[in-house]
Amino acid sequence: MLRLGQPARYQIKIQGQLTQGWSDWFDGMDVSVEQHEKGSSTTNLTGIVSDQPALHGILARIRDLGIPLILVKLLEESEKDSNVD
């Protein structure tokens, strides 16, 4: 069971393309870009988030940048980055 103050692994998908240089700004999450048909792209932020308040902080940064949020997914410990949506 997930608790408010416990770390957990998340995938956050946003519209558009960010570079790996944004990793520090998003608490060290891994930044990877997916290119889609018709030239569109999405960015996946994947990594361990220390607790729920930290997750909300990351989501607030995305909101403050005006970037559309596509997905927030809690990943199982056994899920690898290559297995995420």
The pLDDT value given to residue 38: 87
CA distance 63 to 40: 20
Q: Rounded to two decimals, what is the model's pTM?
A: 0.85
Q: Where are the domains of the chain?
A: 8-77
Q: Model confidence over 13-66: pLDDT tens digits? A: 999 999 999 999 999 999 999 999 888 999 999 999 999 999 999 999 999 999
- Is the Cβ–Cβ distance between 13 and 43 less than 8 Å? yes
Q: What confidence score (pLDDT) does residue 15 get?
A: 97
Mean predicted confidence (pLDDT) in 75-79? 72
* CATH code of the domain made up of 8-77: 3.30.70.260
pLDDT on residue 4: 80
- DSSP type of residue 67: P
